[in-house]
Amino acid sequence: MKISQAFTFEAAHRLPNVPQTHRCHRMHGHSYRIEIVLDGPVDPHTGFVVDFFDIEDVFGPLLKELDHYCLNEISGLENPTAENIAIWIWERTKPRLAQISSVRVYETADCWAQYDGPER
């Protein structure tokens, strides 16, 4: 069974490793959408793979670190591409939510990056 929970936040960033002529080199902002997907068996007693409130408890503190901040100023997000944000979220949530199978980060409604964990 797969379940997913989405979260949104607003943040500014710039991409320091693109050419200065690239428009994302300049400071700008996004309305980000994060989707955390979990995969596992349904517990016969609770009926859950994971309680959605447990997902909120794990991701909530990270959301507070991200919302309305400049992502470049957050440790580990000095180059805050959608790809790096997805990895950053995975690394901080996987230890507490073992069933995570992917993290998807939308920078816009049409552009996203998905991380499915380290390559094996």
Residue 111 annotated as catalytic: no
Residues in the chain: 120
d(CA 37, CA 6): 9
Instruction: Determine which one of 10, 68, 73, 78 is catalytic.
Output: 68
Look at strands 69-70 and 28-39 and give their pairing: unpaired
DSSP 43: P
Residue 30 annotated as catalytic: no
Instruction: Determine which one of 24, 70, 83, 91 is catalytic.
Output: 24
Residue 68 annotated as catalytic: yes
Alpha-carbon 26 to chain mean position: 22
Catalytic residues, which ones? 24, 68, 107
